[in-house]
Structure 1
Amino acid sequence: MQVMRDSTSITDPTLIPLIARLIEDLDDQGCELEEMVRVVVIDPGDALTTIETELGFRLLDRPLDVIEMHEGWFELTYVLSDDGFGVVVYVPVRPDVDPALIAHCRASMS
C-alpha cells in the first residue's frame, strides 16, 4: 500500500492521469492536495485489515461518497469531515487483490 501526501509521490504511470484530474479539481477549489485529501493506493497482496488500519475505519462498512471505475482501477472517495477532508482509495482490478475488496467495489458500482 502506498500513501501519497503530495503529487510528487505519484510514480505509477496508470495512476498519473487519475491523480492529475484529482489535483486539477482541488486546484480549481484553491486547495492543496495534502490539505484536502489523502491518497491511498492499494497494492496487490495488501491485507484488508492492514488497509483498514491505515485508513482508520472499516472499509467495507463505511458508506462511499463516490465510486468510479477507470481502466484497471476502482477509485473510492470517502469524505471524513465537515470541512471536506477525505481519502481517495485506488484499488487495482487484479486477481491478487483481496477478493472481498473487489467484490465490495463491484457491488458499490450497481
Structure 2
Amino acid sequence: MAYANETPCSEECPVRKTSKIIEGKWTTLIVRDLLSGKKRYSELQRSLEKISPKLLAARLRLLEKNQLVKRTIYPTVPVTTEYELTLLGRKLEKVIISMSEFGQLL
C-alpha cells in the first residue's frame, strides 16, 4: 500500500480520489447518517440541523454522481424521496468509524 511520502500525489492517488469525494463540508456526516439505512430528505435535514437545503441537495447530488448514494423517488403527494448508500458507498463505513475513533481522542 502506498502512503503519502512514498509516491507523488497524482490524480490516480487513491487517497486523493477519496478526498475529492468526501472533502466537502457535511459530506461525511451525510454518509454517517445513511449508514443506518434509507433516509428521507427531510430526515437528513433534521439530523444535520445547520445544513442549508441547497447545500444538502448539492452534497446528495455529488454523492449520487459518484455512485455512493442511490436516490429513489416515490410518486406520492407530496413526492417522497429516499436516499440510501450503494454498495460502493457502504465501503466508506470503515472511514467513518476511523474518523469517529480519532475524534474521541481529541
Q: Which has the larger radius of gyration?
A: 2
TM-score (norm 1): 0.29
TM-score (norm 2): 0.30
Structure with the bigger percentage of helix: 2
